[in-house]
Structure 1
Amino acid sequence: MNTQLERKMSWVYLINLIFYIIPLFTVRFSPWQYLSMLSALLLFLGCYFWAYRCNRHNMHWPIAGIVLVAALITPVNPGSVSMFAYAGFFIGFAYSLKRYLLLTALLLALLVLLDLTLTIHWNLFLIMGIPIVLAVSFLGRAEQAKLRHRLAEQQSGDEIKQLATMVERERIGRDLHDILGHTLSSIILKADLAEKLLARQQADAAQQQLTELSQIAREALSQVRQSVSGYKHQGLTAEVARLLSRLRDAGFVAELTGEIPHLDSRRETAVVLALTELVTNIMRHSKGDSCQLRFTEQAGILKICLSDNGRQADVKEGNGITGLRERLTAINATLKLQHNQGLTATIELPQQSTLLQEAT
């Protein structure tokens, strides 16, 4: 799930650096001050675009960098208040309301501390700085709300697609039942009649029945192809959504974390079958009410963890788990079962690039 800021307008938003740039042309500075302001500007730009490349959960480092650069350059150029404003924007975008209020209060306290402890040659540093930081931080909150709305619409769209897929499957099932039910009855009738005609040595009549039988079969094949045309299997993402829906229908609170990976068809099929078996076991044997499915990747290893909070006895590995292990072994994957306040099943699957490196 993409939780990054849109970068297409990032250069335009730099116009707010005007408070920092104007003093360069209106005030006389010494050479080392010009050099320090240029260095600070470059460091700020690095942190600024770093923040745009980060998602919301990893934005603390570039924010800290911006605040540090702004604080260090403030004694030279109090127009650094514009840099503090960018920090306020990213804080508003990245954090929950509680952390946003805390960090914004700390940022404003830092402005007050700098004004009290440093000799700042701009008497409007606080008068303009505090409103600017607050206003821009509100824009960050608005951007976060817009992102949440966009993600909610995307999730809603995905759910609609899944429902459409289920409806399409049901339609295909009904069509195949109607088509094949009637057609197979006709084929059986024609075959029986041809057999009786051959027994009576009425070859021409039997040939006519066989010709009609062949025509019926061809028409049925054409109808089946038309019925399933345009239907495509939706892959791992759709199957995960279906399994989570099954768990919720069974009374579990089912949560999904991490990004669902893209796998080749062979490994995707094996993972889908494995997750289906594990979900079925939870629904049959777990006495819990909560289940989590996590996708993580570390050092070229994809880990898929399915855990529940059921108080069940140790699982006896029957034919289902044994077959599951064999299916995973065929794609170089492993299965680990662990009991700790419930059952956690972990599938570890080397990514394709890792397998190629080991092969070479």
Structure 2
Amino acid sequence: MNLRLEQKMSWVYLLNLTLFLAPLLFVPYQLWHYAAMVVTLIGFLYCYFVAYRQNSSQMLWPVLGMVVIATLIAPINPGAISMFSFAGFFIGFACTLRLYLLLMAALCAILITLDVTGLILWPYFLLLGLPVVIGVSLLGRVEQQRQLRLRQEQQSHDEIKQLGAMVERERIGRDLHDILGHTLSSIILKADLAEKLLARQQAEAAQQQLSELSAIARDALSQVRQSVSGFKHKGLTAEVAKLLSRLRDAGFQVELSGEIPQLDSRRETTVILALTELVTNIMRHSQGDSCQLGFMQNNHRLQLQLTDNGKAAAFKEGNGLTGLRQRLAAIGAQLTLEHGSGFRAIIDLPLQEPL
């Protein structure tokens, strides 16, 4: 435990010294009494400000000085109760519960000793002193708990910020993987096709492929820029059309079935990125020439099926599919991959946001 008191309140709390100054108005002290009280008041203020500026772990030595000063001046001025109360506050603030109880017992014992030995001539010294010192020490405990609670809240806030930053980094990483993985595959395909067309002296067709390659690269650059503030797209229907066009360019016969649904922004983005990752995998690994994408709705659920007729071989899931499963799980969806007569990916998700 390493706490600090608010510095701006240090002078305000000194108003409690009025109990020490009040007897000066009513008791005819001798000159040396005044001198002793001035010296002790200066010493007390020094210990007070030293304690106030220390961490809680370093407060006890100046507090000990405050107790000694208050003990020495109490027989002359019983208003030293206020000095004892300051010591009680610092003890309550700085100490663990066990040490607090021990030191407060010692402080109360000092007050009782001063009273029963007859050194204090004021009859209300103990009657007023014990409740005041104990009560103020409890205020110190309250302040300690308040600061501990504020520190815990700050730590929780910092942890939430760090967690949020980590989640955002993971999101950007998944976005870049999904966007660039698919786009680079298309760029490679277009570049290879343009190269083959040039080799056949088909310059016009090669120029068309290069123009499409340039458009794909520009679109990828735009999406990468957007990924830092959240992936943006033109809607599920437009993105599905773009993905199907890429598959056709890769030599696949493509069939679309079912009605493309209207989804909220979060789930629409997740479905688009999921389809992008799956289409990219087909373009990279499938040895087939036919692909089907279907949308089916039933009992408030949506099922997407993406299949091809390639040579289905078991494969180890990489970062892309792992990230894809995490994305889908976040919206209550499931991904099923099947290998049989071709490859099949099934995405099942609720049409409404899960509670």
TM-score, normalisation: structure 2: 0.61
Which residue of structure 2 lines up, in the alignment, with residue 27 of structure 1?
27
SS of corresponding position for 1:9: helix
* Alpha-carbon shift at residue 205 of structure 1 (Å): 3.5
- How much does 1:57 deviate? 1.2
Aligned to 2:308: none
Please state how far the C-alpha of 1:64 moved relative to its aligned partner.
Answer: 0.7
| Cα distance in 2 for residues equivalent to 1:135 and 1:86 | 11
Which amino acid is 2:11 matched to? W
* Mapped pair 1:138 → 2:109: no
Matched, 1:125 2:115: no
Partner of 1:67: helix, strand, or coil?
helix
**Equivalent-residue separation in structure 2 for 1:159 and 1:144 (angstroms):** 22
For residue 29 of structure 1, report the CA deviation from its aligned partner. Answer: 2.0
Residue identity in the other structure for 2:172: I
Residue equivalent to 1:80: 80
Write the distance in 2 (CA, Å) between the matches of 1:72 and 1:53: 24
- The range that moved more, 28-37 or 123-132, is 28-37
Change (3 A) 1:118 1:213: farther
Corresponding residue for residue 187 of structure 1: 187
Question: For each residue in 1:56-92, what CA deviation from the matched residue of structure 2 results, as whole angstroms up to 9, or x when unmatched?
Answer: 2111112111111111211221110100001111111
Distance apart, 1:213 and its partner CA: 2.1
Amino acid of the residue matched to residue 38 of structure 2?
Answer: L
The Cα offsets for residues 245-273 of structure 1, whole Å up to 9 and x where unpaired, read as: xxxxxxxxxxxxxxxxxxxxxxxxxxxxx
Q: In terms of mean alpha carbon deviation, does 201-210 or 70-79 score higher?
A: 201-210
List runs of 5+ in structure 2 lacking aligned partners: 231-355
Amino acid paired to 1:112: I
Structure 1 counterpart of 2:116, one-letter code: L
- Residue 59, structure 1, aligned to residue 62, structure 2: no
- 1:276-297 alpha-carbon deviations (Å, 9 max, x no partner): xxxxxxxxxxxxxxxxxxxxxx
What's the C-alpha RMSD, in Å, of the aligned pairs?
Answer: 1.9
Cα shift readout 1:101-146 (whole Å, capped 9, x = no counterpart): 1100000101112223353231111111011101111111111111
Q: What is the rounded CA distance, in whole Å, between the counterparts of 1:211 and 1:46 in structure 2?
A: 81
Secondary structure of the 2:10 match is: coil
Matching of residues 159-170 of structure 1 within 5 Å:
159-170=159-170
SS in 1 for 2:193: helix
**2:99 equivalent in structure 1:** 99
Corresponding residue for residue 153 of structure 2? 153
Find the aligned partners of 1:111 and 1:197 in 2 and give their Cα distance.
102
Residue 27 of structure 1 and its aligned partner are, at CA, apart by: 1.9
- The question of 1:38 aligning with 2:38 is answered yes
- Cα distance in 2 for partners of 1:5, 1:194 equals 73
The alpha-carbon distance between structure 1 residues 32 and 203, as it changes in their structure 2 partners (threshold 3 A), is: farther
CA 1:203/1:221 → structure 2, altered by over 3 Å: closer, same or farther? same
**For 1:287-332, what per-residue CA distance to the aligned partner results, in whole angstroms no more than 9, with x for missing partners?**
xxxxxxxxxxxxxxxxxxxxxxxxxxxxxxxxxxxxxxxxxxxxxx
Moved over 6 A (4+): none
Distance in 2 of aligned mates of 1:56 and 1:211: 70
Find the residue that maps to 1:10 and give its secondary structure.
helix
Once the two structures are superposed, the pairs formed by residues 168-183 of structure 1 within 5 Å of their partners are 168-183=168-183
Distance 2:210 2:138 in 1: 78
Q: What one-letter code is carried by the residue in structure 2 that aligns with 1:82?
A: S
Instruction: Specify the SS of the correspondent of 2:39.
Output: helix
Aligned equivalents of 1:222, 1:43: Cα separation in 2 = 70
Using the TM superposition, give the Cα deviation of residue 52 of structure 1 relative to its aligned residue in structure 2, in angstroms.
Answer: 1.8
Aligned to 1:223: 223
For 1:28 and 1:124, how far apart are their aligned partners in 2? 19
- Match of 2:8, SS state, is coil
Aligned partners of 1:57, 1:222: CA distance in 2, in Å? Answer: 55
User: How far 1:2 moved relative to its partner?
Assistant: 5.9
Amino acid at match of 1:39: V
| Mapping for residues 1-360 of structure 1, pairs under 5 Å | 3-117=3-117, 119-229=119-229
Paired with 2:118 and 2:211, the residues of 1 have a C-alpha distance of 100
Matches of 1:32 and 1:221, distance apart in 2: 86
Q: Which runs of 5+ in 1 are unaligned?
A: 231-360
Letter in 2 for 1:159: E
Give the corresponding residue for 1:325.
none
Corresponding residue for residue 254 of structure 2: none
For 2:118 and 2:219, how far apart are their aligned partners in 1?
Answer: 89
Equivalent residues, number = 230
Matched AA of 2:46:
G
Which structure is larger by alpha-carbon Rg, 1 or 2?
2
Q: Distance in 2 between matches of 1:111 and 1:182?
A: 81
Contact kept, 8 Å, 2:93 with 2:140, in 1: the verdict is yes
Native 8 Å contact 2:2 2:57 kept in 1 = no
